[in-house]
Amino acid sequence: MIPFELSVKVELSSDLHISGVGRTAVLIDRCIERDAQGRPYIPSTSFKGRVRAHYERLLSALGYDLGDCKPPAPGGMCNDVNNLCPACALFGSPVQQSRVEFTALTPDATAEPTTRIGVGVNRKLNTVEQGRLFFYEAAPQTRVNTFTGTVRGWATETEIAQLIAAIKLITHFGGQKARGLGRVQAEVAHAWLKAGEEWNSRDPKELLRLLQEVRP
């Protein structure tokens, strides 16, 4: 296992809505998540969950056997420490501590959110539901464009390459996707791997080439 750290950059292609738990505002039904400085951000749990989902899809495409593991419900995940799927071995399960840590994705600027209007739709009749008008916040892509964060932990070079690929596969964060919100472009800007006592910079593209050479 190798200690590693990845610097991640996420650029918005549209406004962003990630619901803020426990936060309220006058006349707003669905507020967005904000940090202690009042900036909209992407929580580490959302970041990790999205990466794991794409990591699992990537492993399946590469031919890895994930067994019957079906996160995020703990009862559907690997519960035998001696028989973990590759995703649970890296990201953790009810019986295994995660080998990777995700920070929140924080913005490069502060901006007041915009207020949008939504309506509830009856899926059977495909018509607007009466009394289902609501207001929600969104972080404006024109003023809050770039978010940055870090992934660090212990992994093999192949697992690190798979993490980089999974991050590049991310296309959305947050809710209201049907209304065009949350579209993003994500990439690993820098990678550092520790050899002995020294941290060495590695080109993420070079690490990605491992996926062309390694098969399960």
pLDDT tens-digit profile of 49-78? 999 999 999 999 988 888 888 888 888 898
Tell me the helix, strand and coil percentages in the chain, rounded to 5: 25, 35, 40
In the 8-state DSSP scheme, what is residue 28? B
CA distances from 99 to 49, 53, 83 (A): 14, 16, 16
Residue 193's pLDDT is what? 96
Task: State how far the Cα of 147 lies from the Cα of 114, in Å rounded to an integer.
Answer: 18
Instruction: Please list the alpha-helical segments (H only) found in the chain.
Output: 44-62, 86-91, 157-168, 204-208, 210-213
How many angstroms separate the Cα of 44 from the Cα of each of 52, 136, 171, 193? 12, 22, 17, 22
Q: 40, 4, 19, 35: which is closest to 146 by C-alpha?
A: 40
Give the residue from 118, 70, 101 showing the smallest Cα distance to 6.
101
E-strand ranges in 34-182 read 100-102, 106-107, 114-122, 127-138, 146-155
Q: Which two tokens stand for residue 212?
A: 């062309």
Distance CA 7, CA 123 (A): 41
Q: At what angle do helices 157-168 and 44-62 cross, to 10 degrees?
A: 110
Reported pTM: 0.84
Tell whether the model's pLDDT for residue 125 goes beyond 70. no
Q: Name the residue with higher pLDDT: 53 or 212.
A: 53
Average per-residue pLDDT for the chain? 84
Joined together, the tokens standing for residue 145 give: 């464009």
Q: Residue 157 — very low, low, confident or very high, per pLDDT cuts 50/70/90?
A: very high
At 214 the three-state DSSP class reads: coil
Can you tell me whether residue 157 is helix, strand or coil?
helix
Angle, alpha carbons 76-96-70 (nearest 5°): 20
pLDDT tops 60 at residue 129: no
Rounded to an integer, the average pLDDT of 104-116 is: 78
Specify whether the CB–CB gap between 159 and 9 falls below 8 A. no
